[in-house]
Structure 1
């Protein structure tokens, strides 16, 4: 008979293992010595030790599921319970019990982690839905559309919730995206319609601009081109493929007109500059007629200068007031000389002046006699009053005599 601390072989070849409940039959060995029998079953024990060690490592270092770990534990426990090995089976059972505790703990951790992940996923999806619903009302079509696409990618990367919750949130999320897409589609449809209207309007403006490009009615046509530009700006933009071409035609027509007008105006400006020089020479010649000494000669000379003036034509607008003002000054001086001469030679005016002078002379003479009489009578107060009246009549008489002298005596 052979034995070791954990087992023995009796004389019949039966192998026993020692446990806390007593010896248990491991098996029967008839093929060799008792030592070889114990060694065989001890190797089976070592195999269980290795298997448990590997399982402990897998549980601690891999993502082995609790279900698979429990199945592996039960498989090893069954071998231990069936006593097919010689060794400290109680120690192996204890290690399995601790491993069960570890698996249960890991199960709870994973359950809690999963619950946390679910809550986080729910919160994340609710935030995605809220943002999507806000974006659904946006008119920032490009940036909002890009953001919604990014939200879809984010949604796909999140864990699923329970079917009911996930479906409800996805319905809201999908509805928000659809609402935005409908609004964007309606907006661009409206924009396309506006651009089509703008294209038609601008084609009409281009046609009119091109029809005016050869006009020589400079003022009216330039004003019409300004109106056409105002209408162009108010029309809005046409489709991109039409806008540049329409603008080039519209601008080109204007360029043709304004280039032709510019050439004409340049010639006109040169002509008007020469006209100004000629009129300044005439103004200088006219100013030599002042002061007027010979009215008839001055009048004839000015008439001749004025005829030459009118024949010259326009001068630059900004120079016109000054040069015309010089001629008007000479003209007014001649007119004033004419008025003075007319007053001097007018018989009716001379007669009226002479009559007024005679009346004033008679009144003065009469007042002098009345003063002398009053003083002779000793009435000085009356004489003084009459003297003051005489002063006023004398002043009028002096003025009338001066006016009469202007008529030649």
Structure 2
């Protein structure tokens, strides 16, 4: 008979293992010596030790599910309980019991972790829904659209909740996206309509601009082009594929008109500059008539100058007042000379002047006599008062005498 601390082989070849509950039959060995029998069943025990060790490591280091771990533990427990190995089977049972506790602890931990993850996922999804519902009212179409797409990607990366909660939150999330899409679609449909209306308006403006491009009615046409530009700006933008072409046509038509006008104005400016030179020469010729000494000759000379002046065309607007003012100065001098000549040769006017002079002379002589009398009487106050009156009458008399001289006498 052969034995070791955990088993023995009796004389019949029966192999036993020692346990806390006493000896248990392991099996029968007839193929060799008792030592070989114990060695064989000890190797089976070592195999169980290795399997249990591997399972412990899997439970510790992998995400082996509690169900699979329990199945594996049950399979190993059956092998241990079958007593087909020689070794410390009670120690293996204790390791398996401890492993069961570890698996249960892991399962509870994972359950709590899943609960935390579920709460976090619920909070995250509720935040996504709240943001999506806020974005649904936004008019920042590009930014809000991009953000909503990013929110969908974020949603897909979150764990699922219980079916009811997940479905309710997804319904709100999806509804917000649909509401935004509907508003955006309506906005761009309206924008398309506005751009189409702008295109039609600008087509009309282009047609009118092109029709006006050959006009030579410079002032009114230029004013109309300014009005067309105001209408163009007020019309808004057409579709991108039409806007540039319409603008090029519109601007091109204006360019044709304004280029033609500039050419004509350049010719006109050159002509008016030459006209100004001619009129300045005539103004200088007219100024040589001053001062007026021979009225009749001056009048005839100025008439000739003025006829040549009228035959010359327009001068630049900014130069007109100065050159015309020079001619008006000469014309006024001739008019004043004519008035003086008329007054000098008008008998009625001469008679009125002589009569007024005589009246004033009589009044002056009378005042002088009154002043002399007042002095003799010693009434100086009256004399002074009469002298002040005399000064006024004398001034009028001097002026009248000067006017009378104009009549040649």
**TM-score scaled to structure 2, two decimals?**
0.94
Q: CA, structure 1 residues 378+116, in 2 after alignment: closer, same or farther (shift >3 Å)?
A: closer
Deviations 1:360-391 (A, max 9, x none): 22233334444555666676665565555444
Q: CA, structure 1 residues 33+344, in 2 after alignment: closer, same or farther (shift >3 Å)?
A: same
Q: CA, structure 1 residues 21+369, in 2 after alignment: closer, same or farther (shift >3 Å)?
A: closer
Deviations 1:19-58 (A, max 9, x none): 1222112122233322222122111101101111111111
Q: CA, structure 1 residues 249+386, in 2 after alignment: closer, same or farther (shift >3 Å)?
A: closer
> Structure 2: any 5+ residue segments left out of the alignment?
none
Residue 95 (structure 1) aligned with residue 70 (structure 2): no
Residue 266 (structure 1) aligned with residue 266 (structure 2): yes
Match of 1:232 in 2: 232
Deviations 1:287-343 (A, max 9, x none): 211222222222221221121111111111222222222222222222222233233
Distance of 2:5 and 2:380 partners within structure 1: 182
Within 5 Å, give how 1:202-213 maps onto structure 2: 202-213=202-213
Q: CA, structure 1 residues 274+78, in 2 after alignment: closer, same or farther (shift >3 Å)?
A: same
Distance of 2:393 and 2:322 partners within structure 1: 48
Match of 1:309 in 2: 309
Comparing 330-339 with 4-13, greater Cα deviation is found at: 330-339
Q: CA, structure 1 residues 54+207, in 2 after alignment: closer, same or farther (shift >3 Å)?
A: same
Distance of 2:97 and 2:3 partners within structure 1: 29
Residue 401 (structure 1) aligned with residue 386 (structure 2): no
Match of 1:119 in 2: 119
User: Secondary structure, in 3 states, of the residue corresponding to 1:243?
Assistant: helix
Residue 149 (structure 1) aligned with residue 176 (structure 2): no
Within 5 Å, give how 1:310-389 maps onto structure 2: 310-371=310-371, 386-389=386-389
Comparing 283-292 with 40-49, greater Cα deviation is found at: 283-292
Distance of 2:378 and 2:16 partners within structure 1: 191
Comparing 362-371 with 215-224, greater Cα deviation is found at: 362-371
Match of 2:161 in 1: 161
Match of 1:30 in 2: 30
Match of 1:279 in 2: 279
User: Number of paired residues?
Assistant: 409
Match of 2:247 in 1: 247
**TM-score scaled to structure 1, two decimals?**
0.94
Distance of 2:376 and 2:147 partners within structure 1: 126
Q: CA, structure 1 residues 96+250, in 2 after alignment: closer, same or farther (shift >3 Å)?
A: same
Distance of 1:263 and 1:383 partners within structure 2: 83
Distance of 1:318 and 1:17 partners within structure 2: 133
> Structure 1: any 5+ residue segments left out of the alignment?
none
Distance of 1:115 and 1:379 partners within structure 2: 135
Match of 1:182 in 2: 182
Distance of 1:191 and 1:323 partners within structure 2: 60
User: Secondary structure, in 3 states, of the residue corresponding to 1:331?
Assistant: helix
